[in-house]
Amino acid sequence: MSALHRKLRITPGQRLIAYHAPAEFKALLSPLPAGVTISNRLSQHVDALHWFVRNRKEMEADLSRVRSLLKPGFLLWCYYPKGTSGIQTDLTRDKGWDRLLGLDVQWLTLVSFNDTWSAFAVRGKTDADQKKHARHSVREIERYSDPVTKTVKVPTELAVLFKKEKEAKAVFNSLAYSHRREYVEWIVSAKKEETRITRANGTIDRLKKGRKNPRNL
């Protein structure tokens, strides 16, 4: 196995999908570990999906189909253009992924694939992920909310955005305690700082649309 195979967690016998991948993708992975197969079509009978998107519009257009594959433990790699790639994009490490990261997924890692593409991996949450998430979430949200006074402390990632997004801040402050708590819990339950930032941006988007629940897209 090459260093690239290890980076992308490609192991012998895996069945992979390369969705919207550039022509050179398979060549860059060759020679593949023994028994590894790569298909260009979405299928339920695979171990991992390598999904290339150039912008948020493409990502959101594909999301319902990709979502159907996100069973517990399923590995999803999301590739997006680097800022130096010359490809016009509105995706970065921290922005544009709120609809995806709002699903029941566990963040894993971020890597550089080549000079054109960066990629991050998530997996469908397993029972172990869910239990760990619940323990972590309870600890974190208790630091930000007080059920007695019905007050919710805004995390730093969201407070920074509220300085510019006055309308969204007003909507947030008008929400019931339970809804404000749910938004903050969604942000602070994320382990990775990049996920917290993405969810903070997603909170602004949802508040502008009048959404009371962060799970409502």
Cα 134 from chain centroid (whole Å): 18
Q: What is the pLDDT of residues 159-192, one digit of tens each?
A: 999 999 999 999 999 999 999 999 999 999 888 8
Give the predicted TM-score (pTM) of the model: 0.64
C-alpha 129/C-alpha 35 separation (Å) is 29
Name the range with the highest mean pLDDT among 39-43, 123-127, 171-175. Answer: 171-175
Cα 194 from chain centroid (whole Å): 9
What is the predicted pLDDT for the residue at 125? Answer: 85
What is the predicted pLDDT for the residue at 191? Answer: 81
What is the predicted pLDDT for the residue at 213? Answer: 82
Q: Does domain 3-124 have CATH number 3.20.20.120?
A: no
Mean pLDDT of 30-49: 92
C-alpha 29/C-alpha 5 separation (Å) is 7
What is the predicted pLDDT for the residue at 217? Answer: 58
Q: Helix 127-142 vs helix 177-188: angle between axes, to the nearest 10 degrees? A: 120
* pLDDT confidence bin for 135, thresholds 50/70/90: low
Check if the beta carbon of residue 121 is closer than 8 Å to that of residue 77.
Answer: yes
At 197, list the tokens. Answer: 């930032």
Q: Is the pLDDT of residue 108 over 70?
A: yes
What is the predicted pLDDT for the residue at 35? Answer: 95
* pLDDT confidence bin for 85, thresholds 50/70/90: very high
C-alpha 205/C-alpha 95 separation (Å) is 12
Q: What is the DSSP letter of 192?
A: S
C-alpha 4/C-alpha 126 separation (Å) is 26
Going from N- to C-terminal start, the domains of the chain cover 3-124, 127-208
State the average pLDDT for the chain. Answer: 90
Q: Is the pLDDT of residue 104 over 90?
A: no
Buried b (16+ CB within 10 A) or exposed e, 161-189: bbeebeebbebbeebeeebbbbbbbbbbb
